Structure 1
Amino acid sequence: MTNQRLDIPATTAINGKKHTAQTFASIALKAAVVFWFVVAAIGQLMFVYYLLFLYGAAAARGDWLVLNKVMPHGYIPGDSAGNFAIVMHIFLAVIIVIGGLIQLIPMVRQRAPALHRWNGRVFLLAVCTTSLAGLYMLWIRGSVGDLPQHLGSTFGALLIWLCAIMALRHALARQLVVHRRWALRLYLVANAVWFYRIGLMFWILLNHGPAGFDPDTFTGPTLSVLSFAQTLLPLAVLEVYFAVQRRDNAVVRIAFAAGLFVLTVAMGVGIFGALMGMWLPKM
């Protein structure tokens, strides 16, 4: 009887420590995700401001030649279809960034479900349309880069369509948990252009200049890898996050939270580099 009585508080203490560790792990995981979202939102809103300031102001003035300051095949007189594709690509990018951020806010989904649904439909239409415009500019109108980069961008467009179809399919079937996972995947691949820019600037800052590519021809192994990594790396992190969520393991959750924190800091460095090296100089 004595041994049994001594076992009870010992077991309770162990369970208490385990519960405390799990609680801390859950808080750490949530904090890391919120930190990522805040940093990403700031960086993406900076990108939107840049687009509106540079291209929006130029459109208001009718000065379409501004497109040629940052695009080798920006505005081409007489090419109505190509110029329209460029304008739509830029305009829809603003909708995708703002609409995507709204979709990620839980409060909107919980308290304004109608807004969430309609915003999701607009977002879905925008990402599918801009992916088609991007493919047109890439393969028909012409763009910078080489074949591996074009294949990477095409791969990203196919991922957009796959994720869009799956997100819509599960939403219509009211399979909301699965729908949200595919919607998150869609959000990440739809922002591949943004990930490409901050990834490139992080790499340049890390190496104190261009490394592994020619800045004049904009070709090289670094850009070839980045053209695929812009979609695959964010998706890989998301899939690990899904796996961590399914496991009630404090150590695994804390480890992932720490890793996500490091990746978010790196993302912040890339955002700062894009702001100082890409966006502000052209505004």
Structure 2
Amino acid sequence: MNRALFAATWISMACFAIYIVIFYGGAIPAHALDDWNLLLPDVYVKGAFVQTAAIAAHFLAGAVLLAIGPAQIVTGQRGTMPKLHRVMGRVYAIAAGVAGFGGLTYIVLQGTVGGTVMNIGFSLYGVSVIVAAIETYRNARRKQFDRHRAWAIRLVALAIGSWLFRLDYGLWLKAIHGLGHSHSYRGPFDQVMAFFFYVPNLLIAEMIIRRREPSSRSHVTLNVVTGAATVLVGTSTYLFAASYWWPHIAARLGIA
């Protein structure tokens, strides 16, 4: 069940990464940056060059994190592919720094659509990503591999936040019809989501770092929870791909 959840999550994250690169990245050469505002209100402001460059760097670096994060877990297990792990680790750390710095630059200069609460939540997220990236790389260089592993788990947990943010919103809009959400992203649900998309991830990461061998009963419970999560991720990915990702990709590529 763990492998099924891992595979479903990686596929979903890879699909989202492809969507980011083609739709958001593809808007740059197509001179169609207004398209960014279709799902993210006012994220692009005409004439704001620095803000646009900062958020573009955030988007594209984030796509790198989503695409190769799971691969880092695979290549790092038991040192199966050490050279590839080191090379991708450097790319991952740099991408995390670029994503965090780009997002923070945008918040300082432009601010988020959700106002003060979202500014605080997203800023803390960006700082956390940068700190985790630095500590992951620093401990690897010092060959303090236990600390490196701990910080790498935290970094991956943070990096998947952007993916979870979209999935959480998608599920909430489909299941609860957006209760507590407003178009300005200043509703009660939006204020909770300014922190919820990454704080629980960090708590789970700490549990993984400190985990002990579970009992047989815990194994059964874990399998049930993991199975349900796999179905949820698969369903959410299908809904998002069918409703948003693929239509936007097809439009950008001119596919009928």
How does the TM-score come out when normalised to structure 2? 0.85
1:184, 1:113 → 2: CA distance?
Answer: 17
Residue aligning to 1:217: 184
1:234 and 2:235 aligned: no
1:76, 1:222 → 2: CA distance?
Answer: 25
1:134 aligned partner, one-letter code: G
1:133, 1:192 → 2: CA distance?
Answer: 16
1:256 and 2:222 aligned: yes
How does the TM-score come out when normalised to structure 1? 0.78
1:104 and 2:69 aligned: no
Q: CA deviation at 1:278?
A: 3.1
Q: CA deviation at 1:67?
A: 3.0
Q: Deviations over 1:5-36 (max 9, x none)?
A: xxxxxxxxxxxxxxxxxxxxxxxxxxx32122
Q: 1:198 to 1:114 in 2, by over 3 A?
A: same
The number of equivalent residue pairs is 249
Answer 1 or 2: which has greater helix percent: 1
Q: Deviations over 1:122-153 (max 9, x none)?
A: 11111112111111222312331132222211
**What is the correspondence of 1:107-256 to structure 2 with a 5 Å cutoff?**
110-207=79-176, 209-214=177-182, 216-244=183-211, 246-247=212-213, 249-256=215-222
Unaligned runs of 5+ in 2: 250-256
In the alignment, is the contact (CA less than 8 A) between 1:202 and 1:267 conserved in 2? no
Choose 135-144 or 256-265, whichever is displaced more. Answer: 256-265
2:68, 2:2 → 1: CA distance?
Answer: 19
Identity, in percent, stands at: 24
2:138 aligned partner, one-letter code: R
Q: CA deviation at 1:256?
A: 2.5
2:206, 2:22 → 1: CA distance?
Answer: 35
Unaligned runs of 5+ in 1: 1-31
1:157, 1:109 → 2: CA distance?
Answer: 30
In the alignment, is the contact (CA less than 8 A) between 2:101 and 2:130 conserved in 1? no
Find the structure with the greater CA-based Rg: 1
2:60, 2:145 → 1: CA distance?
Answer: 30
2:80, 2:222 → 1: CA distance?
Answer: 30
In the alignment, is the contact (CA less than 8 A) between 2:75 and 2:84 conserved in 1? no
